[in-house]
Structure 1
């Protein structure tokens, strides 16, 4: 495995652990919603940290 591939693998492991933690704490719907919102922020070129401060209804309405 190349350094690039091993770095990506490490991120997937961290993402998997975070997803499992979110599911355990708040359920599958919350975990999926949070990951989708993060992906949307990435696609829009916005800092993902902004997602923590935005309301879900505002994000959904402002597409």
Structure 2
């Protein structure tokens, strides 16, 4: 039996699909090391509340 996803779960699923697409495009254009590094850096910015700042270069 399959349980329907909640509205929040559907929204999260769409974001995961978008992330997967972006990651695939980065791998295709620049390789998996770049893609992994960029995603880790983005996660760091989220964790450090640095999104939207004009200077997001790593310390």
The TM-score normalised by the length of structure 1 is 0.78
Provide the residue aligned with 1:13 in structure 2: 17
**Could you say which structure has the larger radius of gyration?**
2
Structure 1 runs of 4+ aligned residues shifted over 6 Å read: none
- Please, which runs of 5 or more residues in structure 1 have no aligned partner? none
Shift of 1:48: 5.5
The TM-score normalised by the length of structure 2 is 0.82
Q: Distance in 1 between matches of 2:27 and 2:12?
A: 22
Shift of 1:21: 0.2
Equivalent position to 1:24, from 17, 28, 37 = 28
Superposed CA RMSD: 1.5
CA shift in 2, pair 1:46/1:8, >3 Å: same
- Please, which runs of 5 or more residues in structure 2 have no aligned partner? none
Provide the residue aligned with 1:37 in structure 2: 41
CA shift in 2, pair 1:26/1:38, >3 Å: same
